[in-house]
């Protein structure tokens, strides 16, 4: 009879009340010292572990905590540190560690990009000019802490060596070819071996070796470096058990992976398009290995249908000798607990499961398979799901009818881009190399405190609106004084570019405490799309009209596009994702038309998450991209030729989706380029891209202020590829996270740099 245990892969870091975020930011502001930071961080770590133990999880992960990012933890532990930050033969101090993550006055921060296709940022390893050596065995450190303080033999979580290599860059490019992978393995495998040997000597039973890049390999030959790495680790620590963990999709070379010399293999049975289960049905599963089955969705928030999950896990139990039940991936990507969601109606609340509730689902499934009586829990689960699915919110007939009749309309702009460009320039009268920003301005402590007071009823609607308008006017004046050509209103009324729209559209629920880590201390609160999405009233029109009334310069209207709202939300899983996306598009179409009617001449519809949301397997790309283009055109195609549509994308490698970007038919696209050191520009070098482009010329994620010369060089680099008539000058992204002084100084330098380059172009002409 199969043994069944409950397991977890990782726990959220922010804290129930964002205690970790507040701790980190207090340290950055020098309000607390290192001793206080470390003491408090330990309390939070142990509390997270204790919650998992108390929930009944049999196999608890340790060392999944981080002071910023788990990939950065790995590279700094192994001294894979760019030499611009110094040379080390000891563990880094906290300040040295944060210099790499955030940059300092002398050096730009390490590159940062999205973790696979979800909204978490990791710090990209840079393998150039590094001297690999083990500076700290953090995995042993945190295992020992859990062992000594809580009496558990936890499961250290470590990013696998091949995944670490493939997520990093060598000579400016992501590592992909066999030769580079093997050279880097030669350098770092001895360090992993030392870590594993020390863990074995300390008495560790299990290590969770995360190799999620396995879901992107195509055939057996691609598995060779993973085998090499695992064999080296087993040689160093032969009695240490390895759980080889994959997630986010299925394994294509299934047989080659399941033959690897590990004791357990973690497979995702939620996001693998049913392919992992199909492989098990066709090929079986090795009797000498444990199947660690990811059966509870680790990056969505819906209560699992436990009756369906039981059918799945019972099938799995019948074909394996030992079964672990766990989330599909680490719970880092969901909020912590639903207990603070007091504003959610009973129908919705019964359908929500955050990290703590997901742990309980795993335990319930485990108990049921082990013969315990769980019928009360299962009956409650069935009743809750039925109530949500039969709710009024999920049965809006007018929205559903509109979706059914989408094919009755062709969503295209009135004229081709070349004709629109002439009409727009005649109307807008913009100079060469126009300057603008992406949308948001600093959300100061005063802005946040006023919003909090308003939400809690301590500030009247009228007083809050007066404050927002005063901030808008102040920042319009700042932009005018700097000399920017196209202005923004600053988005002071918005907490988040997705959450704000979720608060204004029917079918969304704005959580009270559903915070999720995006990067470092940055937490986002993704809205929950639980019902049919409907437009009930204008969202941004009043703010845009007010801003435009305060200046003679053009002020952009600012919206978030459907796909980004989808990718940065928790999306209902009872209907096709594309239908939800198109519901949002139909709602936003009305907003775009209302902005145009209100006299807004430029409307920016941001789609920063288009590239990051690509399915991990290329065979699924085209359908995803076609759906993205379709929903964007639903949103934007109703305006006249003279209305200029902008969009913004960030953290993107564009080479393979240039055709899709062009198909969006936006008049102007702005993209991130500075953290990638301008590499993205090359994507447009050979493409026949005829529309306008704003290349982000400085990195807004770092507090470091770029010099005029640096920005000018970035503009010149872009002009080698992009014609001056197509070129806009702007920061990488919104400026919400920067201080006022940083923003004003950086934008002043941007304007000066543009003017220098403009003078050069005039002289050359």
The residues that are catalytic are 701
Residue with tokens 């405190």: 449
> Would you say 714 and 697 are in contact if contact means Cβ atoms under 8 Å apart?
yes
The strands making up 206-210's β-sheet, listed across from edge to edge, are 3-6, 322-327, 290-296, 264-268, 241-245, 206-210, 155-159, 61-62
The SS3 of residue 52 is helix
Task: Read off φ and ψ for residue 647, nearest 5 degrees.
Answer: -145, 160
CA terminus-to-terminus distance, the chain: 82
Task: Read off φ and ψ for residue 681, nearest 5 degrees.
Answer: -55, -35
The total number of residues written for the chain in this structure: 765
What is the enclosing helix (H) or strand (E) of 209? strand 206-210
Q: Buried b vs exposed e over 503-519: b needs ≥16 C-beta within 10 Å? A: ebbbbbbbbebbbbbbb
Nearest in space to 600 (alpha carbons), one of 648, 635, 537, 556: 556
Task: Read off φ and ψ for residue 340, nearest 5 degrees.
Answer: -95, 0
| C-alpha to C-alpha distance for 578 and 576, rounded to whole angstroms | 5
- Helix pair 355-369, 34-55: axis angle to 10 deg: 30
> Would you say 264 and 292 are in contact if contact means Cβ atoms under 8 Å apart?
yes
Does 648 belong to an annotated binding site?
yes
Does 440 belong to an annotated binding site?
yes
Nearest in space to 212 (alpha carbons), one of 152, 272, 290, 281: 272
Nearest in space to 227 (alpha carbons), one of 171, 160, 167: 160
Does 458 belong to an annotated binding site?
no
Tokens of 679: 């590499």
| C-alpha to C-alpha distance for 334 and 328, rounded to whole angstroms | 12
Does 220 belong to an annotated binding site?
no
Does 20 belong to an annotated binding site?
yes
Does 621 belong to an annotated binding site?
no
| C-alpha to C-alpha distance for 76 and 84, rounded to whole angstroms | 14
Does 19 belong to an annotated binding site?
yes
Does 491 belong to an annotated binding site?
yes
Does 502 belong to an annotated binding site?
no
> Would you say 411 and 630 are in contact if contact means Cβ atoms under 8 Å apart?
yes
Residues with Cβ < 8 Å from 279, sequence gap 6 or more? 250, 251, 254
β-pairing verdict for 322-327 and 516-519: unpaired
Q: Provide the 10 A C-beta neighbour count for residue 22.
A: 15
Does 606 belong to an annotated binding site?
yes
CA dihedral 609, 615, 620, 622 (to 10 degrees): 20
Does 18 belong to an annotated binding site?
yes
Helices (H), 483-556: 499-502, 541-549
For 174-236, the three-class secondary structure string (H helix, E strand, C coil) is ECCCHHHHHHHHHHHHHHHHHHHHHHHHHCCCEEEEECHHHHHCCCHHHHHHHHHHHHHHHHH
Give the angle 42-35-40 at the CA atoms, nearest 5°: 30
> Would you say 123 and 101 are in contact if contact means Cβ atoms under 8 Å apart?
yes
| C-alpha to C-alpha distance for 286 and 284, rounded to whole angstroms | 7
Does 438 belong to an annotated binding site?
yes
Tokens of 394: 């999920």
Residue with tokens 């294509």: 252
Binding-site residues for L-homocysteine sit at 438-440, 491, 606
Binding site as annotated, residues for L-methionine? 438-440, 491, 606
Binding residues for 5-methyltetrahydropteroyltri-L-glutamate: 18-21, 114, 568, 612
Annotated binding residues for Zn(2+), as ranges? Answer: 648, 650, 672, 733
Residues of the binding site? 18-21, 114, 438-440, 491, 568, 606, 612, 648, 650, 672, 733
């Amino acid at each position: 009879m199969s043994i069944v245990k409950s397991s977890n892969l990782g726990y959220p870091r922010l804290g129930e009340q964002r205690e970790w975020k507040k701790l980190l930011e207090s340290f950055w502001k020098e309000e607390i010292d290192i001793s206080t930071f470390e003491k408090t961080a330990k309390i939070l770590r142990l509390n997270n572990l204790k919650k998992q133990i108390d929930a009944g999880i049999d196999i608890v992960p340790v060392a999944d905590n981080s002071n910023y990012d788990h990939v950065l933890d790995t590279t700094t532990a192994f001294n894979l540190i760019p030499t611009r930050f110094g040379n080390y033969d000891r563990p880094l101090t906290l300040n040295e560690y944060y210099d790499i993550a955030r940059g300092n006055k002398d050096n730009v921060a390490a590159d940062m990009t999205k973790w696979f296709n979800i909204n978490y940022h990791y710090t990209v390893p840079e393998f150039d000019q590094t001297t690999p050596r083990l500076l700290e065995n953090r995995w042993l450190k945190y295992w020992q802490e859990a062992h000594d303080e809580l009496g558990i033999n936890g499961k250290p979580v470590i990013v696998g060596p091949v995944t670490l290599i493939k997520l990093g860059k060598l000579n400016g490019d992501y590592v992909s070819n066999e030769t580079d992978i093997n050279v880097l393995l030669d350098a770092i495998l001895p360090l992993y071996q030392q870590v594993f040997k020390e863990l074995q000597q300390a008495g560790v039973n299990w290590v969770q070796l995360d190799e999620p890049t396995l879901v992107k390999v195509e055939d057996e030959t691609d598995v060779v470096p993973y085998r090499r790495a695992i064999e080296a680790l087993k040689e160093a620590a032969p009695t240490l058990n390895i759980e080889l963990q994959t997630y986010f999709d299925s394994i294509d070379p299934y047989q080659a992976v399941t033959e690897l010399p590990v004791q357990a293999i973690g497979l995702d049975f939620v996001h693998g398009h049913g392919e992992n289960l199909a492989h098990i049905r066709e090929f079986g599963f090795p009797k000498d290995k444990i199947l660690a089955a990811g059966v509870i969705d680790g990056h969505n928030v819906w209560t699992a249908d436990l009756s369906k999950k039981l059918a799945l896990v019972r099938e799995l139990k019948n074909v394996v000798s030992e079964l672990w039940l766990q989330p599909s991936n680490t719970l880092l990507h969901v909020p912590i607990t639903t207990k603070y969601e007091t504003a959610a109606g009973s129908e919705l609340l019964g359908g929500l499961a955050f990290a703590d509730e997901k742990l309980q689902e795993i335990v319930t499934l485990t108990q049921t398979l082990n013969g315990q009586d769980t019928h009360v829990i299962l009956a409650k689960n069935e009743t809750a799901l039925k109530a949500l699915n039969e709710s009024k919110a999920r049965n809006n007939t007018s929205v559903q009818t509109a979706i059914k009749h989408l094919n009755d309309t062709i969503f295209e702009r009135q004229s081709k881009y070349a004709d629109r460009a002439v009409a727009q320039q005649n109307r807008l009268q913009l100079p060469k190399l126009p300057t603008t920003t992406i949308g948001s301005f600093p959300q100061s402590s005063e802005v946040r405190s006023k919003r909090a007071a308003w939400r809690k009823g301590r500030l009247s609607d009228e007083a809050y609106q007066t404050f927002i308008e005063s901030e808008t006017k102040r920042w319009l004046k700042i932009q005018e004084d700097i000399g920017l050509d196209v202005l923004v209103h600053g988005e002071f009324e918005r907490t988040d570019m997705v959450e704000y729209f979720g608060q204004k559209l029917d079918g969304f629920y704005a959580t009270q405490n559903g915070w999720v880590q995006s990067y470092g201390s940055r937490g986002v609160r993704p809205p929950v799309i639980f019902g049919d999405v409907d437009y009930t009233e204008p969202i941004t029109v009043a703010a845009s009209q007010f801003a435009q009334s305060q200046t003679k310069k053009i002020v952009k209207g600012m919206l978030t596009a459907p796909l980004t709202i989808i990718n940065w939300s928790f999306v209902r899983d009872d209907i096709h994702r594309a239908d939800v996306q198109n519901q949002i598009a139909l709602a936003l179409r009305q907003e775009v038309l209302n902005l145009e009617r209100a006299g807004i001449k430029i409307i920016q519809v941001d789609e920063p998450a288009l590239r990051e949301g690509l399915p991990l397997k290329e065979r699924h790309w085209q359908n995803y991209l076609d759906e993205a283009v379709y929903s964007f055109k639903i949103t934007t195609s109703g305006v006249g030729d003279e209305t200029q549509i902008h969009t913004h994308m960030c953290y993107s490698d564009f080479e393979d989706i240039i055709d899709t970007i062009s198909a969006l038919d936006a008049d102007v696209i702005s993209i991130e380029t500075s953290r990638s050191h301008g590499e993205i520009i090359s994507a447009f070098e050979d493409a026949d891209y005829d529309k306008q482009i704003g290349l982000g010329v400085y990195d807004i994620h770092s507090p470091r202020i770029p010099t005029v010369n640096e920005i000018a060089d970035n503009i010149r680099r872009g002009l080698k590829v992009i014609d001056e008539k197509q070129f806009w000058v702007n920061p990488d992204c919104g400026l919400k996270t920067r201080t006022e002084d940083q923003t004003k100084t950086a934008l002043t330098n941007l304007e000066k740099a543009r003017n220098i380059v403009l003078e050069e172009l005039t002289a050359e002409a």
